[in-house]
Amino acid sequence: MIHQIKKCAVSIPSNIAEGSGRNHNKEFIQFLRIANGSTFELITQLILAKRLKLASEEIVQPIINQLVEVSNMNFAFQKTLNTTK
């Protein structure tokens, strides 16, 4: 589970960075979508860790809250890119 959590956490900024280097907004948006998928996957992994009592609520919940905020910003950014084609 630790490996999967690390993999998701690395995937989020990596996909955003890779997408920003693309030539077209459509490509960038696709990488932002992948980053959002990784964000939701990480949230799921953290919920599972909490339910399995591998991590406490006090540690996990603030991280989940931040990930939800990141996801919301990502969706808003995608919407902006869609309107500036």
pTM of the entire predicted model: 0.90
SS3 letters across the chain: CHHHHHHHHHHHHHHHHHHHCCCCHHHHHHHHHHHHHHHHHHHHHHHHHHHCCCCCHHHHHHHHHHHHHHHHHHHHHHHHHHHCC
**Per-residue pLDDT, 84:** 73
pLDDT in tens, the chain (85 residues): 899 999 999 999 999 999 999 989 999 999 999 999 999 999 999 999 999 999 999 999 999 999 999 999 999 999 999 887 5
Please report the domains of the chain, with CATH numbers, ordered by start residue. 2-83 (1.20.1440.60)
